[in-house]
A and B are shown apart, each in its own frame.
Chain A
Amino acid sequence: MTAPGSPIPQTLRWLITLRMPVILVALGVAAAALTDGQFAQVDNLVNVMRQVSFEAMIAFGMTLVIVTGGIDLSVGSLVALTGVVAAVVMRGTLDLSPFASITAGLLCGVATGAAIGAGSGTIVARFAIPPFIVTLAAMLIARGLAFIACDGRPVHEVPAELFWLGRGYVLESLLGRVMPVPVLVMLGLYVATAVLLSRTVFGRGVIAVGSNEEAARLAGIPVRRTKLMVYLITGALAGLAGVLHDAKLMAGDPKVGEMWELNVIAAVVVGGTSLFGGRGSITGTLVGALIIGTLNNSLNLLHVEHFWQKVVLGGVILAASLVDAGLRRLDLRN
């Protein structure tokens, strides 16, 4: 322990600021070493990115929610519901052009997610009910509706061109297979949400609401509208992930997205965002998602048994949070 009063060396300071990226790189190097370089091959890295992208894009929205001091447990169910809604819409519009059909499915999926998010957000903002309860209810409702919307059977009748959205690559003829479509979408959303949170009037309101709700209100910030918007955005992002996930499976399946809410929250928390609200970063969340993705992937490559993977993942989330808490305390003291 550093004695109180003694200054922290500059290098350690950098380490504290960049703790999460450092952990990510360390994990990556360890994974590459343990797998004889298999982890570090371009194919595999591209694969990790694609696997991460679905939950990461939802996690960006979740970061906004958590920064306001809230939580959204419904995102996993929303992926299923919006995926099914989009698939049903595409099935119904199969005789239109594939582009029109896919666009209709995409819009309906995103709109469904946004609508349910707006519903949760309105209730959270309007009544003094904890977001945990409101979105737990929304989670059950959305899951039930997902099964109802397709009579419990996955919808496979989707346009063949949908495949590109889930498994295709951007400019494949030019670049080769390096930029999967979901990854590009995720990176675009990363930039957009990062700017939204740290560089806009709205984002400053989000942070203020999470730091001190009463102070925010007395400074003229529309607290209710701000809360509604973060849940709406998260719902819409879950909807987008739901449609992209349809494209990955080439079906709308009401069973997908189980436990996603927890993976998404884990990415946000590992990324250093405080569950108490008022502090958080989208970049942190991206790094958090990549840490979890790297772990999952390398454990797979190492043929670690599925059940053990969960144990390891749980342990790493704990360890990351402990390291984060310790370093932050060191940082605060100075």
Chain B
Amino acid sequence: MPTPPPRIRFDRVCKTFPGVRALVEVSFEVRPGCVHAMVGENGAGKSTLVKILAGAHPIGGGSIELDGEPVTIRGARHAQELGIAIVYQEFNLVPHLSVGENVFLGRWPRSRRLGLIRFPELHRRTQRLFGDLGLNLPVQSAVAALSVAQRQMVEIAKALSLDARILILDEPSAVLTPHELGAMFGLVRRLTAKGVSVIYISHRLDEVFELADNVTVLRDGRHISTRPIHEVNRNTLIFETVGRLLDREFPGRGDRRGEAVLRVERLSGRGAFQDVTFAVRAGEIFALTGLVGSGRSSVARAIFGAAPVASGRIVVGDDPGPFLSPRAAMRAGIAMLPEDRKGEGLLLQRPLRENITLAHREDAATLGLLNIRRERRLTRDLMARHDVRAAGTEVAAATLSGGNQQKAMLARWLQRPYRVIILDEPTRGVDVGAKAEMYQELSRLAADGAAILMISSELPEVIGMADRIGVMHEGRLMGILDNADRRVTQDAIMRLAVGEAS
């Protein structure tokens, strides 16, 4: 039997944006019915390539073949007709419509005479689709009532409702808990068993090794390699992605912990968490982990005065909290980098300069009057110190890569010394190279005596970085694991995270 033609053949695909060569003669093949992972740093060209495939960008040069036939993808509609489905990082669901209405958005079955929506038929079709995909979701409830993971399932179902032969998942795991991730992997495997090819973009190498059959590395818009997953290992993948050897993923640090700087005592927030007690010492990295929705971020926000506290105490040095506003928390010496960089951290359309000086713009002002030249100099210094790479101080924050955006957030806060630094998912959406730099920076801050509270769902990162690890489950702190020797196992953390007592 002759081997079937590749599902997709990229042949010398090029794309140029003003000032940037996003893709340079990229050629590789994706086989039918397999999971094809794509890795690379932000800006390596992964998103551009899949956007060309999905019809969001016109191809700049070269050609694409689907199942042996050359195609010219004319737009998003045409890509759908060709059987290419894409699920973007940002969801495109209408929160107040039902699951069924969202899956068939704009393609609702109508009654012949009045053109009214036939809801029973809509729900039947949705149910059938979910049945095929092995999904168990309430078709009639509003999307707003679903968890993030369920919304993602709806988004995937929506993408597949048009009989796709190619499904593109762009960082689908960023918002999922390990358990939900398992369910998504299951769905992906059922799809590949049916012959669908899945292109899987992720920064998390663990997932790539678990799920993918083949892996392609892109760097600076060029194709570096495409190989079966069993022919590569973690280090070669990192090396190819970054283009240089990283010293070590997690920098080592001597134990120089001082006295407790942040003390949280029997803290409860309305509904979100109860009776949380821990302390973070100077020079220590304390990680707070647990499943999404376990209350980790709510605790962080409560400490920073950004969410209400029902009862309990927060003490920073000698300053008694709880703090009524982020402003008050800042005065007490707390800084926080929020989880959702774009939604809660940056002014995306404003210049980088305004973003970096936002929290301490007084430093560039005399009696409330800003000196723009001084502000620019301050920004340039901070950018150099924290290695924020951008085309100047005046570019919009939205134009930076995820890693540089996060470094800009760090630069914003490190303009002044803070005793307590809270980082909520500091490496989400950040590529391998920038991640390593972020870890270096955190280690340096701890070494300089800051108390660091890091919230993270990535267990390798938690274990690699933290001196102690607090694990939350349904709003309660289940236990604190001592990790001074970096020997805590993922298993031990997961047991606490799902509610088993230590």
Contacts and interface: CB of A to CB of B under 8 A. Distances in A.
Interface in A139-190: none
Residue from B17, B330, B347, B368 with most neighbouring chain A CB atoms (10 Å) = B347
Interface string A186-199: 00000000010001
Contact of A200 (B17, B345, B348, B369): B369
Contact of B344 (A218, A220, A278): A218
A211 B372 CA distance: 20
Interface in B348-383: 348-350, 354, 358-359, 361-362, 365, 368-370, 372
B16 interface: yes
A133 to B, nearest CB: 21
A201 B327 contact: no
Given A200-B365, A212-B348, A220 B343 contact: no
A222 B361 CA distance: 13
B4 interface: no
Contacts, number: 79
Interface in A211-238: 211-212, 214-222
Contacts of A278: 347, 349-350
Given A200-B369, A204-B361, A218 B304 contact: yes
Given A214-B343, A220-B327, A279 B349 contact: yes
B338 interface: yes
A334 interface: yes
Interface residues of A, number: 25
A80 to B, nearest CB: 34
Contacts of B346: 212, 215
Contact of B306 (A199, A212, A217): A217
A221 B344 CA distance: 13
Contacts of A256: none
Contacts of B479: none
Given A5-B17, A211-B349, A217 B326 contact: yes
B67 to A, nearest CB: 30
B18 A215 contact: no
Interface in A72-108: none
Residue from B343, B361, B412 with most neighbouring chain A CB atoms (10 Å) = B361
A73 B327 CA distance: 31
B168 interface: no
B336 interface: yes
Contact of A219 (B17, B348, B368, B412): B412
**Residues of B in contact with A, size category:** 20 to 34
A199 B343 contact: no
Contact of B368 (A4, A7, A200): A200
A279 B326 CA distance: 24
Nearest to A8: B18
Contacts of B359: 219-220
Given A7-B18, A204-B354, A207-B350, A220 B330 contact: yes
Contacts of A204: 354, 358, 361, 370
A218 B362 contact: no
Interface string B333-347: 000101000011111
Contacts of A220: 325-327, 330, 359
Interface in A1-59: 4-5, 7
Nearest to B340: A214
Contacts of B350: 207-208, 211, 278
Given A218-B326, A220-B327, A208 B370 contact: no
Contacts of B345: 215, 218
B243 to A, nearest CB: 26
Given A208-B347, A212-B347, A222-B327, A199 B370 contact: yes
B304 to A, nearest CB: 7
A195 B304 CA distance: 32
Nearest to B16: A5
Contacts of B358: 204, 208, 215-216, 219, 221
Contacts of B349: 211, 278-279
A278 B398 CA distance: 14
B473 to A, nearest CB: 26
A4 to B, nearest CB: 8
Residue from A4, A211, A215 with most neighbouring chain B CB atoms (10 Å) = A215
The 7 closest A-B pairs by CB, nearest first: A211-B347, A219-B359, A220-B327, A219-B358, A220-B330, A214-B344, A201-B368
Interface of B: 16-18, 304, 306, 325-327, 330, 336, 338, 343-350, 354, 358-359, 361-362, 365, 368-370, 372, 412
26 contacts: A199-B369, A199-B370, A200-B365, A201-B368, A201-B370, A204-B358, A204-B361, A207-B347, A207-B350, A208-B347, A208-B354, A211-B347, A211-B349, A214-B343, A214-B344, A215-B343, A215-B347, A216-B347, A218-B304, A218-B326, A219-B326, A219-B358, A219-B359, A221-B327, A222-B327, A279-B349
Interface of A: 4-5, 7, 195, 199-202, 204, 207-208, 211-212, 214-222, 278-279, 334
Given A208-B347, A221-B327, 11 more contacts: A5-B18, A195-B369, A200-B368, A201-B370, A207-B350, A208-B358, A212-B344, A215-B344, A215-B358, A216-B347, A220-B325
